[in-house]
Structure 1
Amino acid sequence: MNAWLAEHYDLLRGLHILAVIAWMAGLLYLPRLFAYHARAGRGSDLDVTFQTMEFKLLKIIMNPAMIAAWLFGGLLIWVDGAVLRGWDFLAQPWMIAKLLGVVVLTGWHHYLMVERKRIAAGASRRGEKFWRMANELPFLAAIIMVIAVTTEFGQS
């Protein structure tokens, strides 16, 4: 199994990148939908439309993409640790930055799921301005993660 995974490392990496792209697209788009949704009158056709869009974005795109990103990322870590590099790379600053970023993005994803339910129930405490500003947070995390990984910042 390890040999097969190592032989298909580039495929796994490509699938991981595609999953991350889909996940990031959702993490960037859902807060924007929330910002627009904040303008819709409760119970209006627009309110129902946004609720449907937000629900489907989470259930059909974001959740599967997050799971796939975690799965393929975990496989890449396994191949790197067990076959290619050894496990020391997990202690490198660049990898710690990436893993912390994944935890932050996963937490943000969970927060967005909770907020979607609050918005649908008419109990949201957040307004359009908050969602417009919060919309940029996943991209800031992505910048840090991508620069850390591509430069292998702090590699010893």
Structure 2
Amino acid sequence: MLWVKTFHILFVVSWFAGLFYLPRIYVNLAQADDPAVRASLLGMAARLYRFMTPLGVLALILGSVLWLHYGIGQGQGWLHAKLLAVLGLIVFHLACRQHLRTFIAGTNRHGHRYFRWFNEIPVLLLLLTLILVVVKPF
């Protein structure tokens, strides 16, 4: 079980690195006027999204193994709340994909301020998840 937990944490941390950095690229994309800079940022964003998606999938798979096979958190309220936070992360990840598609298509309508706020969502979800896992308030 400790190996599964170790790799789950590794993939969660790696996934979060992408979830933190991708919206920062979107901030720069929303401000980019130079076509060369825009093309470079689009390439970075697309590669990062393709890289972080399997990391998130592996984090989810290993988290499911910890929950379903090893019984971690079963019957405890904090786990249900954590699963809602994880669902929020999945929705955020998919929203990142949608924003990437609008940038690629040239149809983005959001400014850099929107993406600066958008960038705070995974921070809040991480804080909530950490509190739930470590403190187990209920």
- Range class of TM-score, shorter chain: over 0.9
**Which of 83, 94, 102 is equivalent to 1:99?**
83
Alignment partner of 2:58 out of 65, 68, 73: 68
How many percent identity over aligned positions?
30
Instruction: Extract structure 1 runs of 4+ deviating beyond 4 A.
Output: none
Q: 2:95 aligns with which of 108, 111, 117?
A: 111
Residue segments in structure 2 that go unaligned for 5+ positions in a row: none
Residue matched to 1:14: 6
Aligned length: 138
Q: Which of residues 61, 65, 70 is equivalent to 1:80?
A: 70
Larger radius of gyration: 1
1:148 to 95, 109, 132: 132
Cα distance in 2 for residues equivalent to 1:150 and 1:101: 14
Q: 2:41 aligned to 46, 50, 54, which one?
A: 50
Task: Tell me how far apart the structure 2 counterparts of residues 28 and 133 of structure 1 sit (CA, whole Å).
Answer: 12
In the TM superposition, residue 59 of structure 1 has moved relative to its aligned partner by 0.4
1:34 Cα shift? 0.2
Compute the displacement of 1:41 (Å): 2.1
Unaligned runs of 5+ in 1: 1-8
Among 26, 40, 45, the residue aligned to 2:32: 40
Distance across 1 between alignment mates of 2:48 and 2:132: 29
Match of 1:5?
Answer: none
Note the aligned Cα RMSD (angstroms).
1.3
Give 1:111 deviation, angstroms. 0.6
Secondary structure of the 1:123 match is: coil
- TM (norm. structure 1) is 0.84
